[in-house]
Amino acid sequence: MTTKTQKPSIAFFGIGLMGKPMAINLLNAGYPLKAWNRTVAKAEALVPFGATVASTPLDAADADIIITMLAAGPEVRSALEAALPTLKKNALVIDMSSTKQSEAIDLHALLAKSGIHFIDAPVSGGVLGAEAATLAIMAGGDIEQFERALPVLSVMGRATRVGPAGCGQVAKLCNQLIVGATINIVAEAMLLAQAGGADPAAMRTAIRGGFAESRILEVHGQRMLDRNFVPGGQVKTQLKDLENILHAAESASIRLPVTALVADNFRHLVTTHPAADHSAILIELEQHNPGQRVGSAEDKFS
Protein backbone atom coordinates (compact mmCIF):
# COMPACT_ATOMS: atom_id res chain seq x y z
CA MET A 1 0.00 0.00 0.00
CA THR A 2 1.17 3.53 -0.70
CA THR A 3 0.53 6.59 1.45
CA LYS A 4 -0.72 9.96 0.25
CA THR A 5 2.83 11.28 0.04
CA GLN A 6 4.44 8.16 -1.37
CA LYS A 7 4.38 7.67 -5.11
CA PRO A 8 3.38 4.21 -6.35
CA SER A 9 6.17 1.98 -7.60
CA ILE A 10 6.30 1.36 -11.34
CA ALA A 11 7.56 -1.52 -13.45
CA PHE A 12 8.18 -0.37 -17.02
CA PHE A 13 8.40 -3.00 -19.77
CA GLY A 14 9.86 -1.81 -23.10
CA ILE A 15 12.66 0.75 -23.19
CA GLY A 16 12.61 1.54 -26.90
CA LEU A 17 12.36 4.75 -28.93
CA MET A 18 9.15 5.72 -27.13
CA GLY A 19 9.52 3.86 -23.86
CA LYS A 20 12.86 5.38 -22.91
CA PRO A 21 11.76 9.05 -22.78
CA MET A 22 8.44 8.07 -21.18
CA ALA A 23 10.28 6.20 -18.40
CA ILE A 24 12.76 9.06 -17.96
CA ASN A 25 9.87 11.50 -17.43
CA LEU A 26 8.45 9.22 -14.73
CA LEU A 27 11.85 8.95 -13.04
CA ASN A 28 12.31 12.72 -13.18
CA ALA A 29 8.90 13.09 -11.54
CA GLY A 30 10.11 10.99 -8.60
CA TYR A 31 8.46 7.65 -9.31
CA PRO A 32 10.45 4.60 -8.18
CA LEU A 33 10.85 2.61 -11.38
CA LYS A 34 12.18 -0.80 -12.31
CA ALA A 35 12.89 -1.27 -16.01
CA TRP A 36 12.84 -4.40 -18.12
CA ASN A 37 13.76 -4.73 -21.77
CA ARG A 38 14.60 -7.77 -23.85
CA THR A 39 17.88 -6.03 -24.73
CA VAL A 40 19.22 -5.37 -21.23
CA ALA A 41 21.53 -2.53 -22.32
CA LYS A 42 18.51 -0.41 -23.21
CA ALA A 43 17.14 -0.74 -19.68
CA GLU A 44 20.57 -0.07 -18.21
CA ALA A 45 20.57 3.32 -19.97
CA LEU A 46 17.98 4.42 -17.39
CA VAL A 47 20.21 3.70 -14.38
CA PRO A 48 21.74 7.22 -14.36
CA PHE A 49 18.20 8.57 -14.03
CA GLY A 50 17.52 6.44 -10.95
CA ALA A 51 15.98 3.28 -12.38
CA THR A 52 16.78 -0.23 -11.28
CA VAL A 53 17.05 -2.95 -13.91
CA ALA A 54 15.30 -6.31 -13.96
CA SER A 55 16.57 -9.24 -15.97
CA THR A 56 13.09 -10.71 -16.58
CA PRO A 57 9.47 -9.52 -16.47
CA LEU A 58 9.00 -11.77 -13.43
CA ASP A 59 11.74 -9.91 -11.55
CA ALA A 60 10.28 -6.50 -12.45
CA ALA A 61 6.60 -6.98 -11.79
CA ASP A 62 6.32 -6.63 -7.98
CA ALA A 63 5.09 -3.05 -8.37
CA ASP A 64 1.93 -1.05 -7.81
CA ILE A 65 1.65 -0.12 -11.49
CA ILE A 66 3.03 -2.02 -14.48
CA ILE A 67 3.40 -0.09 -17.74
CA THR A 68 3.98 -1.97 -20.99
CA MET A 69 5.31 -0.22 -24.10
CA LEU A 70 6.08 -3.13 -26.41
CA ALA A 71 5.98 -3.81 -30.14
CA ALA A 72 2.61 -5.56 -30.44
CA GLY A 73 -0.11 -7.50 -28.63
CA PRO A 74 1.60 -10.91 -28.57
CA GLU A 75 4.71 -9.39 -26.95
CA VAL A 76 2.57 -7.66 -24.33
CA ARG A 77 0.71 -10.85 -23.46
CA SER A 78 3.92 -12.91 -23.34
CA ALA A 79 5.61 -10.45 -20.96
CA LEU A 80 2.61 -10.21 -18.66
CA GLU A 81 2.04 -13.97 -18.59
CA ALA A 82 5.71 -14.34 -17.58
CA ALA A 83 5.21 -11.70 -14.86
CA LEU A 84 1.88 -13.03 -13.60
CA PRO A 85 3.23 -14.98 -10.60
CA THR A 86 4.82 -11.78 -9.25
CA LEU A 87 1.97 -9.36 -9.96
CA LYS A 88 0.34 -8.14 -6.77
CA LYS A 89 -3.40 -8.39 -6.26
CA ASN A 90 -5.00 -5.01 -7.04
CA ALA A 91 -1.96 -3.97 -9.08
CA LEU A 92 -2.78 -1.91 -12.17
CA VAL A 93 -1.44 -2.84 -15.59
CA ILE A 94 -1.38 0.05 -18.09
CA ASP A 95 -0.67 -1.18 -21.61
CA MET A 96 0.53 1.81 -23.64
CA SER A 97 1.45 -0.32 -26.66
CA SER A 98 -0.59 -0.28 -29.86
CA THR A 99 -2.47 -3.58 -30.13
CA LYS A 100 -5.74 -4.98 -31.42
CA GLN A 101 -8.92 -4.20 -29.49
CA SER A 102 -9.55 -7.93 -29.13
CA GLU A 103 -6.09 -8.40 -27.61
CA ALA A 104 -6.74 -5.68 -25.05
CA ILE A 105 -10.10 -7.18 -24.09
CA ASP A 106 -8.58 -10.65 -23.73
CA LEU A 107 -5.76 -9.30 -21.57
CA HIS A 108 -8.23 -7.46 -19.36
CA ALA A 109 -10.13 -10.71 -18.80
CA LEU A 110 -6.96 -12.70 -18.11
CA LEU A 111 -5.69 -10.26 -15.49
CA ALA A 112 -9.10 -9.85 -13.84
CA LYS A 113 -9.06 -13.56 -12.95
CA SER A 114 -6.07 -12.82 -10.68
CA GLY A 115 -7.55 -9.64 -9.18
CA ILE A 116 -5.35 -7.36 -11.30
CA HIS A 117 -6.73 -4.23 -12.94
CA PHE A 118 -6.13 -3.18 -16.54
CA ILE A 119 -6.23 -0.09 -18.73
CA ASP A 120 -5.28 0.05 -22.39
CA ALA A 121 -3.73 3.47 -22.98
CA PRO A 122 -1.98 3.73 -26.36
CA VAL A 123 -0.33 7.00 -27.29
CA SER A 124 0.22 9.39 -30.18
CA GLY A 125 2.85 12.06 -30.58
CA GLY A 126 5.98 10.18 -31.55
CA VAL A 127 9.39 10.40 -29.96
CA LEU A 128 9.23 14.20 -29.77
CA GLY A 129 5.95 14.00 -27.87
CA ALA A 130 7.37 11.35 -25.55
CA GLU A 131 10.41 13.51 -24.82
CA ALA A 132 8.32 16.62 -24.23
CA ALA A 133 5.69 14.75 -22.18
CA THR A 134 2.96 15.96 -24.54
CA LEU A 135 1.66 12.60 -25.74
CA ALA A 136 -2.02 12.17 -26.53
CA ILE A 137 -3.06 9.20 -24.39
CA MET A 138 -6.28 7.34 -25.23
CA ALA A 139 -7.43 5.22 -22.30
CA GLY A 140 -9.90 2.36 -22.08
CA GLY A 141 -10.93 1.03 -18.67
CA ASP A 142 -13.26 1.67 -15.78
CA ILE A 143 -13.45 5.17 -14.33
CA GLU A 144 -11.99 4.27 -10.93
CA GLN A 145 -8.85 2.74 -12.43
CA PHE A 146 -8.48 5.58 -14.92
CA GLU A 147 -8.53 8.09 -12.06
CA ARG A 148 -5.96 5.95 -10.25
CA ALA A 149 -3.74 6.00 -13.33
CA LEU A 150 -4.25 9.67 -14.17
CA PRO A 151 -1.41 11.15 -12.06
CA VAL A 152 1.05 8.75 -13.70
CA LEU A 153 -0.33 9.25 -17.21
CA SER A 154 -0.25 13.03 -16.77
CA VAL A 155 3.53 12.91 -16.33
CA MET A 156 3.75 11.59 -19.90
CA GLY A 157 1.05 13.61 -21.64
CA ARG A 158 -2.67 14.38 -21.82
CA ALA A 159 -4.90 11.41 -21.02
CA THR A 160 -8.55 11.01 -22.00
CA ARG A 161 -10.80 8.09 -21.09
CA VAL A 162 -12.71 7.04 -24.21
CA GLY A 163 -14.67 4.05 -22.89
CA PRO A 164 -14.26 0.61 -21.27
CA ALA A 165 -11.29 -1.72 -21.73
CA GLY A 166 -10.35 -2.06 -25.39
CA CYS A 167 -11.65 1.36 -26.40
CA GLY A 168 -8.25 3.00 -25.99
CA GLN A 169 -7.06 0.80 -28.84
CA VAL A 170 -10.07 1.77 -30.96
CA ALA A 171 -9.26 5.47 -30.46
CA LYS A 172 -5.60 4.84 -31.31
CA LEU A 173 -6.63 3.05 -34.50
CA CYS A 174 -8.76 6.07 -35.43
CA ASN A 175 -5.71 8.26 -34.80
CA GLN A 176 -3.44 6.05 -36.90
CA LEU A 177 -5.99 5.89 -39.70
CA ILE A 178 -5.85 9.69 -39.96
CA VAL A 179 -2.06 9.84 -39.53
CA GLY A 180 -1.25 7.13 -42.08
CA ALA A 181 -3.61 8.52 -44.70
CA THR A 182 -2.48 12.11 -44.16
CA ILE A 183 1.23 11.25 -44.45
CA ASN A 184 0.40 9.52 -47.73
CA ILE A 185 -1.59 12.53 -48.99
CA VAL A 186 1.15 15.02 -48.01
CA ALA A 187 3.64 12.90 -49.97
CA GLU A 188 1.31 12.94 -52.98
CA ALA A 189 1.03 16.73 -52.73
CA MET A 190 4.82 17.07 -52.64
CA LEU A 191 5.15 14.87 -55.70
CA LEU A 192 2.42 16.71 -57.61
CA ALA A 193 4.04 20.08 -56.86
CA GLN A 194 7.40 18.79 -58.09
CA ALA A 195 5.97 17.21 -61.24
CA GLY A 196 3.89 20.30 -62.02
CA GLY A 197 6.87 22.64 -61.88
CA ALA A 198 6.12 24.26 -58.50
CA ASP A 199 8.61 24.45 -55.65
CA PRO A 200 7.38 21.84 -53.11
CA ALA A 201 8.82 23.84 -50.18
CA ALA A 202 7.08 27.01 -51.37
CA MET A 203 3.86 25.07 -51.93
CA ARG A 204 4.01 23.84 -48.32
CA THR A 205 4.57 27.38 -47.07
CA ALA A 206 1.72 28.73 -49.20
CA ILE A 207 -0.90 26.29 -47.94
CA ARG A 208 0.01 26.49 -44.26
CA GLY A 209 -2.60 28.38 -42.27
CA GLY A 210 -5.35 27.15 -44.58
CA PHE A 211 -7.55 24.09 -44.20
CA ALA A 212 -4.65 21.80 -45.16
CA GLU A 213 -2.59 22.85 -42.14
CA SER A 214 -1.74 19.96 -39.83
CA ARG A 215 0.97 18.58 -37.60
CA ILE A 216 1.65 16.04 -40.35
CA LEU A 217 2.25 18.79 -42.92
CA GLU A 218 4.51 20.58 -40.46
CA VAL A 219 6.66 17.66 -39.30
CA HIS A 220 6.50 15.03 -42.01
CA GLY A 221 6.24 17.58 -44.80
CA GLN A 222 9.57 19.03 -43.69
CA ARG A 223 11.06 15.54 -43.40
CA MET A 224 10.07 14.86 -47.00
CA LEU A 225 11.61 18.12 -48.21
CA ASP A 226 14.82 17.29 -46.32
CA ARG A 227 14.57 13.62 -47.36
CA ASN A 228 15.19 12.86 -43.70
CA PHE A 229 13.84 9.36 -43.16
CA VAL A 230 15.68 8.69 -39.89
CA PRO A 231 13.01 6.89 -37.87
CA GLY A 232 10.85 8.72 -35.40
CA GLY A 233 8.09 6.21 -36.07
CA GLN A 234 8.90 3.27 -38.32
CA VAL A 235 7.22 2.11 -41.53
CA LYS A 236 6.72 -1.39 -40.09
CA THR A 237 4.93 0.11 -37.08
CA GLN A 238 2.63 2.17 -39.28
CA LEU A 239 1.81 -0.92 -41.33
CA LYS A 240 1.06 -2.92 -38.18
CA ASP A 241 -1.39 -0.21 -37.11
CA LEU A 242 -3.03 -0.11 -40.55
CA GLU A 243 -3.45 -3.89 -40.53
CA ASN A 244 -5.05 -3.62 -37.09
CA ILE A 245 -7.40 -0.92 -38.42
CA LEU A 246 -8.52 -3.17 -41.25
CA HIS A 247 -8.97 -6.06 -38.79
CA ALA A 248 -11.14 -3.84 -36.56
CA ALA A 249 -13.18 -2.71 -39.57
CA GLU A 250 -13.76 -6.30 -40.62
CA SER A 251 -14.86 -7.18 -37.07
CA ALA A 252 -17.29 -4.24 -37.12
CA SER A 253 -18.55 -5.23 -40.62
CA ILE A 254 -17.56 -1.94 -42.25
CA ARG A 255 -15.41 -1.11 -45.30
CA LEU A 256 -12.60 1.46 -45.22
CA PRO A 257 -11.52 1.70 -48.87
CA VAL A 258 -9.08 4.63 -48.49
CA THR A 259 -7.32 2.94 -45.58
CA ALA A 260 -7.01 -0.24 -47.63
CA LEU A 261 -5.20 1.70 -50.39
CA VAL A 262 -2.89 3.40 -47.89
CA ALA A 263 -2.11 0.03 -46.30
CA ASP A 264 -1.12 -1.33 -49.72
CA ASN A 265 1.39 1.50 -50.16
CA PHE A 266 2.95 0.86 -46.75
CA ARG A 267 2.86 -2.90 -47.38
CA HIS A 268 5.06 -2.39 -50.45
CA LEU A 269 7.38 0.05 -48.68
CA VAL A 270 8.00 -2.27 -45.71
CA THR A 271 9.70 -4.77 -48.03
CA THR A 272 12.48 -2.26 -48.81
CA HIS A 273 12.56 0.25 -45.94
CA PRO A 274 10.93 -1.34 -42.87
CA ALA A 275 12.78 0.76 -40.28
CA ALA A 276 12.58 4.11 -42.09
CA ASP A 277 10.38 6.92 -40.83
CA HIS A 278 6.71 6.95 -41.90
CA SER A 279 7.50 9.90 -44.19
CA ALA A 280 9.46 7.50 -46.43
CA ILE A 281 6.10 6.77 -48.06
CA LEU A 282 7.33 9.49 -50.42
CA ILE A 283 9.86 6.97 -51.76
CA GLU A 284 7.11 4.46 -52.49
CA LEU A 285 5.16 7.06 -54.46
CA GLU A 286 8.28 8.06 -56.40
CA GLN A 287 8.81 4.42 -57.38
CA HIS A 288 5.33 4.48 -58.93
CA ASN A 289 6.31 7.59 -60.90
CA PRO A 290 9.68 6.95 -62.59
CA GLY A 291 11.73 10.08 -63.19
CA GLN A 292 10.01 12.07 -60.43
CA ARG A 293 11.83 12.92 -57.19
CA VAL A 294 11.16 15.61 -54.62
CA GLY A 295 14.23 17.75 -53.89
CA SER A 296 17.90 17.09 -54.50
CA ALA A 297 19.11 16.08 -51.02
CA GLU A 298 20.44 12.60 -50.41
CA ASP A 299 18.15 10.20 -48.58
CA LYS A 300 19.02 9.91 -44.87
CA PHE A 301 18.05 6.78 -42.95
CA SER A 302 20.44 6.97 -39.96
Q: Which domains does the chain have, with CATH numbers?
A: 10-164 (3.40.50.720), 170-287 (1.10.1040.10)
Report pLDDT for 232. 82
DSSP 8-state code for residue 216: H
Q: Which of 29, 43, 33 is nearest to 65 (CA)?
A: 33
> In sequence order, what E strands does the chain have?
10-13, 33-36, 52-53, 65-68, 92-95, 117-120, 123-124, 135-140, 157-163
Q: 170 by DSSP, 3-state: which?
A: helix
Sign of the torsion formed by the C-alpha atoms of 60, 63, 66 and 67: negative
Q: What is the pLDDT of residues 15-72, one digit of tens each?
A: 999 999 999 999 999 999 999 999 999 999 999 999 999 999 999 999 999 999 999 9
DSSP 8-state code for residue 228: B
Residue 95 and residue 120 in contact, taking contact as beta carbons nearer than 8 Å: yes
Residue 230 and residue 277 in contact, taking contact as beta carbons nearer than 8 Å: yes
Report pLDDT for 184. 97
Report pLDDT for 300. 97
Judging by DSSP bridges, how do beta strands 65-68 and 52-53 pair with one another?
unpaired
- Ranges of the chain whose pLDDT falls below 70: 1-5
Report pLDDT for 76. 97
Beta-carbon-side half-sphere exposure of residue 191 (alpha carbons within 13 Å): 21
Report pLDDT for 5. 64
Q: Which of 171, 163, 103, 108 is nearest to 136 (CA)?
A: 171
As a dihedral over the C-alpha atoms of residue 126, residue 127, residue 130, residue 132, rounded to 10 degrees, the angle is -110
Catalytic residue numbers, as ranges: 172
Residue 85 and residue 132 in contact, taking contact as beta carbons nearer than 8 Å: no
| Overall pTM > 0.75 | yes
Q: Which residues are CB-contacts of 298 (< 8 A; sequence separation ≥ 6)? A: 227
